[in-house]
Amino acid sequence: MSWLLRRGAQRLAEYAESLTMGGMPLLRLHREIGARWRRSLIPARLVRRTEEPEVTRRQEARAVVARFAGRLRKAPEEPT
């Protein structure tokens, strides 16, 4: 968990340590810590976004919707 500490994530490192002590499988631990890390970055990303021009935010929103639509097109259809 030293890599979390080096990145200033003290609480996340402590949480990871407690999970490993409980015997959580490594793959599950990796997913759990990754999800928590990404969630912890949301506030800073939101602040950065509010400081960007409206045009930039609209372009990013369009790109997100286009990626989502692309994934929907590639998704297998469910049988009816």
Question: Using 50, 70 and 90 to split pLDDT, how confident is the model at 80?
Answer: low
Give the integer Cα–Cα distance in Å for 80 and 76.
12
Answer whether residue 41 is part of any domain: yes
In a domain, 37, yes or no: yes
- Residue 80 inside a domain? The answer is no
Query: What is the rounded average pLDDT of the residues 3-19?
Result: 82
In a domain, 55, yes or no: yes
Kindly state whether residue 79 falls inside one of the protein's structural domains: no
For the chain, the maximum distance between any two Cα atoms, rounded to a whole number of angstroms, is 52
Express each pLDDT in 23-67 by its tens digit. Answer: 778 788 888 888 988 898 899 988 988 899 999 989 999 999 999
Q: Which residues does 15 contact at the CB level (< 8 Å), separation at least 6?
A: 33, 36
The number of distinct structural domains making up the chain is 1
| Cβ(41)–Cβ(69) below 8 Å | no
Domain that holds residue 13: 2-74
Q: Which residue in 4, 2, 64, 3 sits closest to 36, CA to CA? A: 4
In a domain, residue 18? The reply is yes
